[in-house]
Amino acid sequence: MIKSDVIVIGGGIAGMVAALVSARNGKRVTMLTYGEGTLPLNSGVIDILAYDQQHHYVENPMKAMESLPEEHPYHRIGREAVEEGISFFREVMGANGLPYAGSFDRHLFVPTAVGTLKPTSFAPRSLAGSRVFQGRRKIVVVSVRGLKDFYGSIMLENLKKELGESRSYEVAVVDPNLGGGRDITTQDVARWLESDEGRRNFVAQLRSRGGSDAVFIVPQVLGLKDGELSEELEERLGAPLVETTCLPPSVNGMRVQRILIDALRKAGVNIVENTRVIGAKVKGSKAISVTAEGCARKKEYTAERFILATGGFYSGGITMRDFDKPKEVVFNLPVSFVKGEAGWANDKLFSDQPQGFAKSGIRTDAAMRPLGADGKVVLENVRVCGRMLAGYDFCFEHSGNGVAISSAYKAARE
Amino acid sequence: MSDTKMIEEDKQAVYSGDHCLSCTSCMANCPVMAASLEYRGPKLVAPAHGRMHFSQDDYEDSLDFCSNCKSCDRACPSGVAVSTLNMLMRGEYYRHHPHSKRDDMLAHGERMAKLVSAIPFGSTFANLGTKVSGALGVLSAMGIAGQRSMPSYASKTFYRQFKDIKQPKSDKKVLFYPGCSINYNEPHIGIAFVKVMNHNGYEVLVDEGMNCCGSPLVVTGYLDEAKEHADNNVSRILKWKEQGIPVVVCCTSCSLMLRAEYAELFGEQRMEDAAENIYDAFEFLEELMSKGELKTDFKRVDKKLIYHVPCHLKTQGIGTPAVSVLKQVPGVEVELADAGCCGISGNYGFKKEKYDISMKIGEKLFERIKESTADDVICDCPTCRMQIKHGTQTDPCHPIEILEEAYR
């Protein structure tokens, strides 16, 4: 039996933020994780809200938040915690060399791996494309020989549509000479650029393609650690470099992950990895402990407070073996979901209609405590955050990391 | 063996590849991929290509690059036993292909050690022998990394030294499994463990009928031989379990093999049953501590320690119990190195053609340790300790030695 003040279940972005906020408030924190969380698959940019419920683009996320349906978790989190939580996150990133650009009331645009522009609220400087597009006449898409899942020509076609025909567009192919028999990944290229020789080589191959009104668009390869390398390369090339979001693994997501883990260690958080939490002991309206599977045996972890950040359906926080019977796996909390097959899924995957199942989750009060069907708090010392929350479809409305970070912040503070 | 009760099919590691979502978390966290462009990576080799390997004579060459460090297994959000799939495929490959002399030697450390310890002054001559053959380039010619020194044999094995220890009798008993490394190379760690347990009122038993856990056999592709070891060890562990005596292990690769890999590789229910009776030494001590049964009459030990947590401990899902126990000792400070895999991964880094990869993987850890102001490096795994010594010229010890010092 391991005792802590706070136990955070889940090591994704919500779990890590909740653990860090708790630890910085002087709590003894244990974080239980299983798998890597979604950061290696997540661009790490912070979407607060880019589309309303009719899938119309919204100019001002904080304002649009007010007209979201009552069930939306932003109404529980509240404007203040959204601002404080995201500011907290930005401070942590900024203090560790990965400053985030952006604002609460207006969108930035980051280029995606296929050359569309995606609205987001905050992004590391190196991804914040709209910061530099204005006035630049020459768009140079940099593709890397041997890199999987990055196609310069497709990118170029889409960028033309987004940024207009009046600029010039070209693809520059950089050859990192990373032969070895397999496809190379963005991580391989980022490692290459972390070497002095790699950077020299990169600059030499691109220098002639730049110019004072040029901008280079590159895959997520500008260093594994922070934003320092992108600044150095911009200086050496004399033109801005913009990273795109990428197919996984996401280098930027992993920068964020590394910074958060280091911060957690520094704050004294005890991280137990590779342990799946499968149940809990409850007494009345209080959770006493959670049970986690280690190798071959179960282990009990007790605490005053539990923060549930187990990632919903994707990460196994909610399962559904029988239709219409979703189950929250740790505390067996009531799951709010759309009943019946008709509303469950939209079979047109890429349409502008939402997915019914996506809003499945746990309803909470303003303190992020789980609610039952009767609207009463089920467990007083449990807080729920991130993708476990009911009432939002992050894919459809583009609110993923915004809800994750701000709900985690509030869960740890309340 | 058709009447052997197997683990339910949907829980067997060999079928876990079907849970793969191709999310690439394993690739993003693979230390070998980070160091080498030749390894196609866990996702492509294990769950993807692996499905075919079991059904036809078609082997993925780069399977040879997997070090079984299990970073992929820990990264996987879907419970795929990635590295175990690789080890099963490697075993299958070597059922149809010959092993090299080098692999035979690296896999059968126990056989050699038994021979050496049976001869008077055997260890002296054997140590001299490995030094001389190292100097003459014999080991290198066999395919062993010439830069490394081979582990040297202790003049008296742990089991022999154990016989001379006068222990207080007690109703509270544990069975200590030293594994090859503590028994033949570093018996002082076993002795420290016995002292710690005695101090806490436990009598320590040993079972010389248990043999090498089989980890070196598994990673070198001697799967059928490893199964023989598993059968023997599991029967003995179950016998101790029946008597209510837990089996406690100081080497984290041995404990992972006994408590997880047997069942994953071979799928038998009895292996899971036996696994419940296996404890990591500090896991056991941490449990005593949480029950208020751990002796806290610690002497002050003014030491700042940097701890490299072995991959095979991280995989056990029990956290870092050595940290929570050692933190109770006045004067002790523990910081985690948190710099990834050390790169040696059992006998992987001893292979000549893997030496450079192994050292490249370890770079981050070496740098971290060199920059640290800690007085000592601690680590539970014998090969990690060898790698750290080789890469940093420090002399790491097992955390149990620190605790033993605090009880002195």
Q: Any idea how long chain A is?
A: 414
Q: What is the pLDDT of residues B199-215, one digit of tens each?
A: 999 999 999 999 999 99
Taking residue A258's Cβ as centre, other Cβ atoms within 10 Å add up to 17
Q: How far is B155 from chain A (nearest CA, A)?
A: 35
pLDDT of residue B53: 63
CATH 3.30.720 fits A128-244, yes or no: no
User: What's the N-to-C CA distance of chain A in angstroms?
Assistant: 26
Provide the ipTM. 0.95
**Residue range(s) occupied by CATH 1.10.1060.10 in chain B:** 9-96
Is pLDDT at A150 greater than 90 in this prediction?
A: no
Please judge whether A35 and B77 are an interchain contact, meaning their C-beta atoms are less than 8 angstroms apart.
yes
How does DSSP assign B220-253, residue by residue? TT-HHHHHHHHHHHHHHHHHHHHTT--EEES-HH
Chain A residues lying within 8 Å of B314, measured CB to CB: 273-274
Residue B315 to residue A274, Cβ atoms within 8 A: yes
Looking at chain B from residue 302 to 361, which residues have their Cβ under 8 Å from any Cβ of chain A? Answer: 314-320, 323-324, 336, 338
CA torsion B226-B228-B230-B231 (nearest 10°) is 170
- Quote the radius of gyration of chain A (alpha carbons, Å): 22
Per the CB < 8 A criterion, the answer to whether A275 and A293 are in contact is: yes
Domain range summary for chain A, segments of one domain joined by +: 2-98+254-413, 128-244
Residues of chain B with C-beta less than 8 angstroms from the C-beta of A276:
317
Nearest to A273 among B260, B314, B336 (CB): B314
CA distance B321 to chain A (A): 10
pLDDT (tens digit per residue) in B303-317: 999 999 999 999 999
Sequence-ordered list of residues with C-beta below 8 angstroms from that of B121, at least 6 positions apart, any chain: none
Torsion of CA B323, B325, B329, B331, to 10 degrees: 10
Identify the CATH number of the domain defined by range A2-98+254-413.
3.50.50.60
Answer CATH for B9-96 from 1.10.1060.10, 3.40.718.10, 1.10.3720.10, 3.50.50.60:
1.10.1060.10
Q: Measure CB to CB from residue B34 to each of A191, A271, A297 and give the nearest one.
A: A191
Q: Where in chain B is the domain with CATH 1.20.1050?
A: 158-286
Determine, for residues A295 and B78 on separate chains, whether the beta-carbon distance falls below 8 Å: no
Structure tokens of A256?
């964020």
Residues facing B332 on adjacent strands: B303
pLDDT-derived band of residue A1, with 50, 70 and 90 as boundaries? low
- Residue A181 pLDDT greater than 90, yes or no: no
Q: How far apart are CA A367 and CA A360, in angstroms?
A: 19
> Measured between CB atoms, which of B37, B259, B320 is closest to A181?
B37
* pLDDT computed for residue A404 by the predictor: 98
Contact, A121 vs A61, CB < 8 A? Answer: yes
CB proximity A321 to B under 8 Å: no
pLDDT score recorded for residue A414: 85
Say if residues A378 and A336 touch (Cβ distance below 8 Å). Answer: no
Q: Quick check: A2 and B318 CB within 8 A?
A: no
CB B28 within 8 A of CB A40: yes
- Rounded distance between C-alpha atoms, residue B142 and residue B157, angstroms: 27
Looking at CA atoms only, how far is residue B76 from chain A in angstroms?
5
User: Which two structure tokens, joined as six digits, stand for B57?
Assistant: 């004579």
Residues of A in contact with B278 (CB under 8 A): 296
Residues 220-279 of A with CB under 8 A from B: 248-249, 254, 261-262, 265, 270-276
Res. A241: pLDDT tops 90? yes
Q: For position A182, what pLDDT does the model report?
A: 87
* Average pLDDT in chain A: 95
Residue A340 touches partner B, C-beta closer than 8 Å: no
Higher pLDDT, B125 or A85: A85
Mean pLDDT is lowest, of A298-312, A368-382, B123-137, B282-296, for: B123-137
B55: left (phi over 0), alpha (psi -120 to 50) or beta: alpha
* b (16+ CB within 10 A) / e for B50-81: beebeeeeebbebbbbbbbbbbbbbbbbbbbb
CATH number of the domain at B158-286, please?
Answer: 1.20.1050
| Ramachandran class of A332: left when φ > 0, alpha when ψ lies in -120 to 50, beta otherwise | left
- Taking the CA of residue B50 and the nearest CA in chain A, the distance in Å comes to 17
Residue numbers in B near A261 (CB within 8 A): 338
HSE-up of B81 (CA within 13 Å, CB side)?
A: 22
What is the tens place of the pLDDT at every residue in A31-70? 999 999 889 999 999 999 999 999 999 999 999 999 999 9
What is residue B55's predicted lDDT score, i.e. its pLDDT? 66
Sign of CA dihedral A100, A25, B302, B332: negative
Segments of chain B with pLDDT less than 70:
1-2, 52-56
Interchain CB distance below 8 Å, B38 and A180 = yes
- Using pLDDT thresholds of 50, 70 and 90, give the confidence band for residue A120: very high
CATH class in words for B296-407: alpha beta
Residues of B within 8 A of A318 (CB-CB) are: none
From A143, A148, A146, select the one nearest A115 (Cα to Cα). A143
Beta-carbon contacts of A315 under 8 Å, excluding residues fewer than 6 positions away, are A10, A12, A35, A37, A38, A387, B77
Mean pLDDT, chain B, rounded, equals: 94
Residues in chain B within 8 Å Cβ distance of A274? 73-74, 314-317
Q: Which residue of chain A is at minimal alpha-carbon distance from B40?
A: A182
Instruction: Name the residue in chain A with its Cα closest to that of B292.
Output: A1
Residues in B touching A262 (Cβ below 8 Å): 338
B324 chain-A contacts, CB cut-off 8 A: 2, 270
pLDDT tens per residue across span A3-30: 899 999 999 999 999 999 999 999 999 9
Contacts of B319 in chain A (CB under 8 A): 2, 30, 270-273, 275
- Order of strands, edge to edge, in the sheet holding B173-177? B203-205, B173-177, B247-249, B278-280
Q: Which residues pair with A8 in a beta bridge?
A: A31, A307
Chain B interface test: which of A33, A36, A269 (most B C-beta within 10 Å): A36
State both tokens at B7.
């683990």
Report pLDDT for B2.
Answer: 63
Nearest residue on chain A to B324, judged by CA atoms?
A: A270
For B220, phi then psi, to 5°, come to -100, 5
Partner residues linked to A277 by β-bridges? A292
pLDDT at position B199, please?
98
Which pLDDT score is estimated for B136?
Answer: 79
What is the Cβ-side half-sphere exposure of residue A338, based on CA atoms within 13 angstroms? 15
Q: Is B295 exposed, middle or buried (0-12, 13-18, 19+ CB in 10 A)?
A: middle
Q: How far is Cα A359 from Cα A320, in angstroms, rounded to an integer?
A: 14
The residue of A295, A318, A319 whose CB has the most chain B CBs within 10 angstroms, and thus the best one to mutate to test that interface, is A295
The Cα–Cα gap between A126 and A101 comes to 9
Contact B316 A315 (CB under 8 A): no
Q: How far apart are CA A298 and CA B278, in angstroms?
A: 13
What average pLDDT score do residues A141-155 get?
91
